[in-house]
Structure 1
């Protein structure tokens, strides 16, 4: 069985790195950064900058919950494209500082989880599988869809590359 660290920090790191790479490809295709960060598929949907924000805020909550550390506030606001890149880079730096010895002993520790107005609690392990990992993938998928919808030439390899980096060709 994988450790709590293995199923959380490296997986979320891959989500963030994939977000960075597809965002960069989107930026190369859509030269207007102000347009790019406001992309939406539907009127009632959050724009691309908020999709990035949620990936970052969720990653910071993940770190807090699996290490027992202090929360890092990420304000919800409108973000420019350079600010989106800065947020993602800062989160990668934070994720890289997480030590396995801080995480693995907390697998059965009860942690809070707020989902909209509802509050829950779960073991850190259940929290990882039930909230930050699916949330990270969901918002990464939204960013991918937003960019594809605007004609950015993304394919499955762009999405899967970071997740398959340890694979070798047969």
Structure 2
């Protein structure tokens, strides 16, 4: 059976790296097309949808809560604001550094520890293991998918391989 660390920190690292990779590809595409890259952070599929910069913010903020709850560490403040594209890159880079410092020894013993989870105005409690599977992992994938869809909607040449590369990095060709 996989440990709590195995099903949380490396998975969230892959989500974060994939977000970073496809965002860079989106920026390169915008530059090649002569488009204003500042507009990239403001992309929305629908008017009532959160913009791309907020999708990135949620990935990072949720990952930081994941670290706090599974390791027992201190919270890292991630202010909700309008982030520029450069700030989105900085957020993702800083978050990867934070994820790389998480100690397996601090995480694995906390699998059955009850942790809080806020979803909108509602508050819940769950074991750290249930929390990982029920909130940060699905939330991370959801917002990664939104970033992907926003970029594809702008003609960024992304494919499934771009999405899957980080998740399949340990695979070997048969």
TM-score (norm 2): 0.97
Deviation per residue, 1:64-96 (Å, 9 max, x gap): 000111111100000011100000000000000
Distance 2:30 2:79 in 1: 26
Q: Tell me the number of residue pairs that the alignment of Structure 1 and Structure 2 aligns.
A: 170
5 Å-filtered alignment, 1:21-170, equals 21-31=21-31, 32-170=36-174
Coordinate RMSD, CA, aligned: 0.5
SS in 1 for 2:42: coil
- 1:10-40 Cα offsets, whole Å, 9 max, x none, are 0000000000000000000113221100000
**Gaps in structure 2 of 5+ consecutive residues:** none
SS at match of 1:30: helix
Long gaps (5+) in structure 1 = none
SS in 2 for 1:46: coil
Instruction: State the distance in 2 between where 1:126 and 1:65 align.
Output: 12
**TM-score, normalization: structure 1?**
0.99
Moved over 4 A (4+): none
